[in-house]
Structure formats: structure tokens, C-alpha cells
Amino acid sequence: MKALLALEDGRTFPCRSFTGPGQVGGEIVFNTGMTGYQEVLTDPSYNGQLVTMTYPLIGNYGVNPEDMESRQIQVSAFIIREYQPFYSNYRATMSLADYLMTQGVLGIEEVDTRALTRHLRNRGAMRAYISTSDLDPASLVAKANAIPSMAGLDLAGGVSTERPYRWVDNQPASLPEGAVLDASIWTGSGRYRVVAIDFGIKFNILRCLSGIAAEVVVVPATTPADAIRAMAPDGIFISNGPGDPEPVTYGTQTIRDLLNYRPMFGICLGHQILGQALGARTYKLKFGHRGANQPVKDLRSGRVEITSQNHGFAVDAESLDPNEIEVTHINLNDNTLEGFRHRRIPLLAVQYHPEASPGPHDAHYLFEEFREMMAAGGT
């Protein structure tokens, strides 16, 4: 089925839908990963975005329920060069097209993804619109320009869990009806008790926290500091999530209120929220970091990690107080801030995703360091 992709600056790309009719708009971005399309689709950090895969052949290993990063597809549209309907993988349960169609998500192929990616690298991430019914370029460009900018929008609140839940046997488990969020919430199934604040958390992060002998309770993004203190955790995890950290003021205030209460670990949006709580500024990157091949240098050891990333905003390293904050990691592509620690408070944060394992285990030590902080009792 014929389709047309139009960018807000007037550039258009003819294409075809492999999921049937549809139309959708949003911010268009690109991901440079060669594999992992299912994880990309279900990552809440991509909520509302039109995601372009730079690797040309997508769909060849199908879809399976074990590799989901959340309960549903999060992207608004999936843009690829060539769709492969004949998948081959012993774990697969359905095709990529069928998976997209079950949730009403538009997938388009025969896009010149190389030209599109180069355009976005030069011009920056921008708004776009895709349609199978309206194929008039001027009309779609106008629709793209009518889409609100993602900057200044609180997207994290829209993907956060509405109710607290446990992470049990590698899957979310509802709390009993009427369960009270206090110290009695814990079952004793793990050596350490971790409250994970959900701004768009990925399931594999919860798997990794469980892997360091932690019992995890996930709470909504709007959970106040007093409620978290009442749970008496050993550590607090601040999750990844979509969009601009600036409007997530409730999250920043909660973290500010919890500073020096228990060890903290923040990833991606959690890194940015921790930075804001410590007085730092954040800003929008030109086209963001999205892929499984971002080189990051650990300034303490000199080691270079191959990391997975998905974010369009960053913390301004110059706005951090060097007397209080140690910069620990930088991105070797553009020297942006990738990690920091507090010099006195048990707190660490990284912009990338150590749970995604592109290295494959280059960054798993961060979970161990969080465990060591909890073992030391926050000292």
C-alpha cells in the first residue's frame, strides 16, 4: 500500500505500508542498532516517536514475548528500508507486521533510510507525518508543522505505571488490593530492598536489579518522597523514560527531597532528573543518541564501553558543581556527559543503558556498584 512520509522542513519520502492503512505524526528519530528492533518498539523512552532503523533489513527474526521491554509497543510508527515477512527464529511467535498490527502501529518500508538519516543528522530531529490516504506532499508537510514540539511536554507521566507493583520471577506482579506502601510491603525475597521510580522503566532493568539480589517494588513517577521513606528501602532507582526532563518537576522535587537518604542510581532520564535535583541544567541534543554502538569512556579507569542509548536530552556538565560532583563518563562521539557521582552522597547516574548489554557486559559493573552502596548502608 502506497504511503508518504513528510518532514516539517518540506522533505518528503515516498514509501509503502506493510501494516495496512493509517496515518500518524510525531517526532522522527533514527536508531543505529543492527538488531534489537523488538526492544526498540517496546522501550517507553520512544513513546510517541516515529523511529527509523538505519540497518536495512528488519523483521528477519520475528517477535517473541520474552524480549518485550514493556507491556506494549511504545513507538507511534516504525520506518525501515526493507521488511522481511519470512522470519526465522526458534523463539519467534509471530511476524513483526502482525505484532505491529495487533496494536494498531503503522509500519512503512521502501524508505530511503540512508538519505533520511543523513538529513536528520544534518538538520536535527524534527516533526514528521506519515499517511496512506493523504499522499499530497504540501498537505502532509502542513500536518507535520501542526504537531506540538516534544520539548516542554511531560511524556514520562504518561508512560509511568498507575499502580505500584512487584517484580517477581522476571515479570510484573500486582500488589494485593489495598496494600499499604510502608515497610511491611517487602516479602524478604531479596537481600536488598529497592524502590524503583517508574518514569518509563524497561523490564530488563528490573531483571538486572533482581540479579544483584534485590527485591524490587516499582512505584509511579508521582510518588512523593514521604511515601518512599515509609517503605524504608535500602536503595532508590530512578528509571529511564521519554522526552524532556524539565517539565518532570515532581520527579526532580522527589529526588531532591531524598538526597542523602539512601543510595541512588539513575539511568537515562533518571540521570537527567538526578542532575536537575543537584542544580544542573539540561538541554536538547541536535538528533539525540539512539543505538547500540555508542562509545563511552570511563574517566576513572580509562576503559571504553560500547553502550546502548536512547535519549534526546542531556545534562550540561558545565552546570554541575565540580566541588560536589565528579564527572565519571563522557561520550567519545561528541564529548557529552554520560555519567557522574556525588563526592559525598552515595549516588551514581549514567546517561546510557547498562542493562541493554551491547558490549555485551561492558557496563554491568554499575549494578554491582549500586549493590555495594546498599551493602555499605549508604555510607
Q: Which residues are known catalytic residues?
A: 268, 353, 355
Tell me how far apart the alpha carbons of residues 268 and 307 are, in angstroms, rounded to a whole number. Answer: 12
Tell me how far apart the alpha carbons of residues 8 and 240 are, in angstroms, rounded to a whole number. Answer: 28
Positive or negative, the Cα torsion across 127, 130, 134, 137?
A: positive
364 burial type by CB count under 10 A (0-12 exposed, 13-18 middle, 19+ buried): middle
Tell me how far apart the alpha carbons of residues 96 and 353 are, in angstroms, rounded to a whole number. Answer: 24
Q: How many residues does the chain have?
A: 379
The one-letter amino acid code at 347 reads: L
Per the CB < 8 A criterion, the answer to whether 199 and 238 are in contact is yes
Per the CB < 8 A criterion, the answer to whether 13 and 137 are in contact is no
Per the CB < 8 A criterion, the answer to whether 53 and 60 are in contact is no
Per the CB < 8 A criterion, the answer to whether 242 and 290 are in contact is no
Provide CB contacts within 8 A for 219, sequence distance 6+. Answer: 161, 164, 181, 195, 196, 197, 198, 227, 228
Tell me how far apart the alpha carbons of residues 185 and 175 are, in angstroms, rounded to a whole number. Answer: 9
Per the CB < 8 A criterion, the answer to whether 73 and 49 are in contact is no
Tell whether omega for the bond before 360 is within 30 degrees of 0, i.e. cis. yes
Of 89, 94, 90, 98, residue with least CA distance to 61: 89
Of 263, 180, 262, 172, residue with least CA distance to 218: 172
Beta strand pairing status for 192-198 and 165-168?
unpaired
Tell me how far apart the alpha carbons of residues 184 and 352 are, in angstroms, rounded to a whole number. Answer: 33
